Structure 1
Amino acid sequence: MIIIDGCQYANWSEQIFQEMKEGGVSAVHVTVTYHEDFRETVENIADWNRLFERFSNYILPGRTADDVRRAQKEQRTAIIFGFQNCSPIEDDIGLVEICHQLGGRFMQLSYNNQSLLATGCYEDNDPGITRMGRQVIAEMNRVGLVVDMSHSADRSTLDAIEISKRPIAITHANPKFWHKALRNKSDEVLKALGQSGGMLGFSIYPHHLKGKSQCTIGSFCEMIARTAELMGVDNIGIGSDLCQGQSDSVVEWMRVGRWTKQIDYGEGSASDAGFPPMPSWFCGNRDFGNLVKGLQDYGFLEEDVEKIMGGNWLAFFEKSFGPA
Structure 2
Amino acid sequence: MSLAQTFNARGPRIDGMQYDNWSEKIFQQMRAGGVDAVHVTIAYHENFREMVANIEAWNQRFQRYGHLILHGKWASDIALARQTGRTAIFFGFQNPSPIEDDIGLVEVVHSLGARFMQLTYNNQSLLATGCYEQNDPGLTRMGKQVIREMNRVGLVVDMSHSAERSTLEAIELSQRPIAITHANPGFWHAALRNKSDVVLKALGESGGMFGFSLYPHHLKDKSDCTVQSFCEMIARCADLMGVEHLGIGSDLCQDQPNSVVDWMRVGRWTLEVDYGEGSKAQPGFPDQPQWFRDNRDFHNIESGLRAVGFSAADTAAIMGGNWLRFFEESFTPAQQQVQAVAQPSAPSCGIAV
TM-score normalised by L of structure 2: 0.91
Matches within 5 A, 1:308-319: 308-319=318-329
In structure 2, the partner of 1:52 is 62
DSSP-derived class of the 1:25 partner: coil
Distance (Å, rounded) in 1 between the aligned partners of 2:132 and 2:46 = 20
Match of 1:187? 197
* RMSD of equivalent CA atoms: 0.7
The whole-number CA distance in structure 1 between the counterparts of 2:99 and 2:224 is: 39
Check conservation: 2:274, 2:280, Cα contact below 8 A.
no
- 1:65-144 correspondence to structure 2 within 5 Å: 65-144=75-154
- The answer to whether the 8 Å contact 2:139/2:166 transfers is yes
Partner residue of 1:230 out of 234, 240, 262: 240
Contact 2:130 2:163 in 1 (8 A): yes
SS at match of 2:315: helix
Deviations 1:7-52 (A, max 9, x none): 0000000000000000000000000000000000000000000000
Give the corresponding residue for 1:154. 164
CA–CA distance in structure 1, aligned partners of residues 259 and 319 of structure 2: 31
Report the counterpart of residue 240 of structure 1 in structure 2.
250
Q: What percent of counterpart residues are identical?
A: 70
Deviation, structure 1 residue 271: 3.4
Shift of the alpha carbon at 1:278? 0.3
- Conservation of the 8 A alpha-carbon contact between 1:34 and 1:85: yes
Report if the CA contact (8 A) 1:199-1:235 is conserved. Answer: yes
- Secondary structure of the structure 1 residue equivalent to 2:36: strand
Matched-pair contact (CA < 8 Å) for 1:11–1:243: yes
3-state DSSP of counterpart to 1:296: helix
Q: After superposition, where does 1:295-310 map in structure 2 within 5 Å?
A: 295-310=305-320
**Is 1:250 the counterpart of 2:250 in the alignment?**
no
State the Cα distance separating 1:268 from its structure 2 match.
6.0
> Structure 1 runs of 4+ off > 6 angstroms?
none
> Is 1:173–1:202's contact at 8 Å kept on the other side of the alignment?
yes
Provide the C-alpha distance between the structure 1 equivalents of 2:298 and 2:277, rounded to a whole number of angstroms.
25
23, 31, 40: which one pairs with 1:13? Answer: 23
Deviations 1:161-192 (A, max 9, x none): 01100000000000000001000000000000
Structure 1 partner of 2:183: 173
Report the residue type matching 2:211 in the other structure: G
The match for 1:38 is 48
Q: Does the CA contact (< 8 Å) of 1:22 and 1:286 recur in 2?
A: yes
C-alpha contact (below 8 Å) 2:106/2:150 kept by paired residues: yes
What are the within-5 Å matches in structure 2 for residues 194-233 of structure 1?
Answer: 194-233=204-243
Q: Which whole-Å CA distance do the structure 2 matches of 1:113 and 1:317 have between them?
A: 27
Per the alignment, residue 279 of structure 1 pairs with 289
Tell me the equivalent position of 1:293.
Answer: 303
Task: Look up the match of 2:344.
Answer: none
Larger radius of gyration: 2
Supply the distance in 2 between the matched residues of 1:226 and 1:72 (Cα, whole angstroms). Answer: 31
SS at match of 1:261: coil
Deviation digits for residues 236-271 of structure 1, max 9, x if unmatched? 000000001101011111000000000002016343
Residues in 1 aligned to 2:278 and 2:249: alpha-carbon distance in whole angstroms = 20
- Distance in 1 separating the partners of 2:197 and 2:242: 13
The structural deviation recorded for 1:272 is 2.4
CA distance in 2, matches of 1:107, 1:270: 27
Counterpart-to-counterpart distance in 2, 1:18 and 1:269: 35
SS in 1 for 2:115: strand
CA distance in 1, matches of 2:176, 2:281: 42
Task: Give, as a single letter, the amino acid of the residue that structure 2 aligns with 1:115.
Answer: S
Mapped partners of 1:52, 1:2: distance in 2: 21
Q: Is the 8 A contact 1:268 1:274 kept in 2?
A: no
- Report the Cα distance in structure 2 between the residues aligned to 1:11 and 1:75, rounded to whole angstroms: 22
Q: Distance in 1 between matches of 2:282 and 2:289?
A: 16
Kindly tell me the number of residue pairs found equivalent between the two proteins.
324
Separation (CA, whole Å) in 2 of partners of 1:47 and 1:200? 29
Provide structure 1 residue ranges, at least 5 long, that are not aligned to the other structure: none
1:57, 1:317 → 2: CA distance? 23
CA contact 1:2–1:306 (8 Å) conserved in 2 = yes
Which stretches in structure 2 are left out of the alignment for 5+ residues?
A: 1-10, 335-353
CA deviations over 1:71-104 (Å, ceiling 9, x no partner): 0121210000000000000000000000000000
